[in-house]
Amino acid sequence: MVELRHGDVLPAPLTTRAQADGQRLPKSLFIKTYGCQMNVYDSARMAETLTPLGYAATDRPEAADMVILNTCHIREKAAEKLFSELGRLRGLKAERRQDGAEMIIAVAGCVAQAEGAEILRRAPHVDIVLGPQTYHRLPEMVALAARGAGAQLDTEFPVESKFDHLPDASGEAGVTAFLSVQEGCDKFCSFCVVPYTRGAEASRPVAAVLKEAESLVARGAREITLLGQNVNAYHGAGPDGAEWGLARLIGALAGIGDLARIRYTTSHPADMDEALIAAHGEESKLMPFLHLPVQSGSDRILAAMNRKHRAADYLDLIGRLRQARPDLALSTDIIVGFPGESDADFAATLALIEAVGFAAAFCFKYSPRPGTPAAGASDQLPEPVKAERLARVQALLARQGRDFNRSMIGRRLPVLFENPGRREGQLKGRSPYLQPVHAPGPASLIGSIAEVEIDELGVGSLGGRLAAAMPASERPMAAALLAAIASA
């Protein structure tokens, strides 16, 4: 760990209220999470590391003894937005000091990794900066900051894995849970900062993943989403000494009796191997919804993006996946306005979207990320061109999403209920295709899968009536669904 001192701007020694009182009073922790599910997962694990120090969650930053901003570098102008948020926190911290209390401010995540020293230079009220690979060292950094040891910066890629040093989670898990199995990326897409901020691809051993999954299920999780920047590149050490791919890992996870649903995200088309394609047809606990970023439909742009696949490869892959699982629904990521994107390149993207038919998608205007190869390209597109293309692609994807949701009307879907809905007596859950579904029902169904007759189309959601409670496994329903689709 590198310990930085600020010289003239060294913050005054920090003492939490509890320490000043000489007691271990509960301390409050506010975490603001930006970006992807990986960050949501990381935030939860950071909170767990701080539980032994007496920190409990609060949703009020102004009352927090510690604030963590878990940042995402994918966001446009991520650094500027972070500094503006830190400006607000400086005021809160000053107010607390006037009241005789302290606030430890930590910046974590990918912006911390990329801009660590700059954050401490521009925002000297920040006490801790830590990268995504060093969360397990957070308690030690908090202790040092609280003792007035100066600002703490740790953006190393340590030899030891953070996963081996994080505490085992306890307490109730949500009905749906995330489980990080892989981190980092070796693909170096020319627009992306992840290989620089998260480091090289690394996979957790199979035994560690199974242990965490069993713990999540024992604590109430019915669905687990396996996470990784490049999750289908998973290659963890198996208990048999062999290297396991994601398909084999999913097969082992499916053996956990009370685990009803498995998902995984985010994948790269080039890492979609035959075993994983086959798993979509063979493993009924693996949900028929796949997020598979394509980014562009133009081979010229895909090459400039260093995507390692062509449009035809992607379409061929979709065909094979749908052969394995006919009801597979797909979502994707699209970037419009990449440097040098011509009208013809953009038309190829629209054509690919038409050819696939996505159930959902995230689309973005290209915006340069400092330090990435594409950021220095000379043929950047004017903003109005990017905006116009974004509007067109969004309109097409919105229509496809609506059509997909509309096709559910009149069908029975197995819904995993996660929590109460907004209306009295209503429950909210998810279909196998990840659509939010609302239906009236008793709270006792939360954590269960039940069939819902879909009869209502909301904005990005479905509504319906409860048909019948489902058993723990969705196997019979998945088979029935497939049979219905095959005979349609």
Contacts with ligand SF4 by CB under 6 A lie at 185, 187-189, 192, 194-195, 229-230, 268
Q: Which residue's CB is nearer to ligand SF4, number 68 or number 194?
A: 194
What type of residue is 275? A
Map tokens 């090289």 to a residue: 200
Residue pair 455/464 in contact by the 8 Å Cβ criterion: yes
Q: How far apart are CA 183 and CA 134, in angstroms?
A: 13
Q: Which residue's CB is nearer to ligand SF4, number 192 or number 262?
A: 192
Q: Which residue's CB is nearer to ligand SF4, number 225 or number 229?
A: 229
- Shortest distance, CB of residue 363 to ligand SF4, whole angstroms? 14
- Shortest distance, CB of residue 187 to ligand SF4, whole angstroms? 4
Q: Which residue's CB is nearer to ligand SF4, number 74 or number 250?
A: 74
Backbone dihedral region for residue 273 (phi beyond 0: left; psi -120 to 50: alpha; all else: beta): beta
Q: Who's near 361: CB < 8 A, 6+ residues apart? A: 331, 332, 333, 334, 353, 397, 400, 401
- Shortest distance, CB of residue 336 to ligand SF4, whole angstroms? 15
- Among 345, 325, 327, residue whose Cα is nearest residue 335: 345
Map tokens 């997909």 to a residue: 404
- Shortest distance, CB of residue 154 to ligand SF4, whole angstroms? 22
- Shortest distance, CB of residue 349 to ligand SF4, whole angstroms? 16
Q: Which residue's CB is nearer to ligand SF4, number 54 or number 368?
A: 368
Q: Which residue's CB is nearer to ligand SF4, number 303 or number 457?
A: 303
Q: Which residue's CB is nearer to ligand SF4, number 27 or number 268?
A: 268
DSSP 244: E
Tokens of 446: 């939360």
- Shortest distance, CB of residue 156 to ligand SF4, whole angstroms? 20
- Shortest distance, CB of residue 284 to ligand SF4, whole angstroms? 29
3-class DSSP assignment, residue 280: helix
| Sign of the four-CA dihedral 188, 190, 195, 196 | positive
Beta bridge partners of 68: 31, 106
Q: How far apart are CA 368 and CA 464, in angstroms?
A: 43
Q: Which residue's CB is nearer to ligand SF4, number 175 or number 246?
A: 246
Q: How far apart are CA 48 and CA 165, in angstroms?
A: 12
- Shortest distance, CB of residue 194 to ligand SF4, whole angstroms? 4
Q: How far apart are CA 410 and CA 413, in angstroms?
A: 10
Q: How far apart are CA 457 and CA 157, in angstroms?
A: 47
DSSP 191: T
Residue 272 burial by Cβ neighbours in a 10 Å radius (0-12, 13-18, 19+): buried
- Shortest distance, CB of residue 188 to ligand SF4, whole angstroms? 6
Q: Which residue's CB is nearer to ligand SF4, number 369 or number 412?
A: 369
Q: Which residue's CB is nearer to ligand SF4, number 102 or number 201?
A: 201
Residue pair 444/468 in contact by the 8 Å Cβ criterion: no
- Shortest distance, CB of residue 423 to ligand SF4, whole angstroms? 39
Tokens of 370: 């400092």
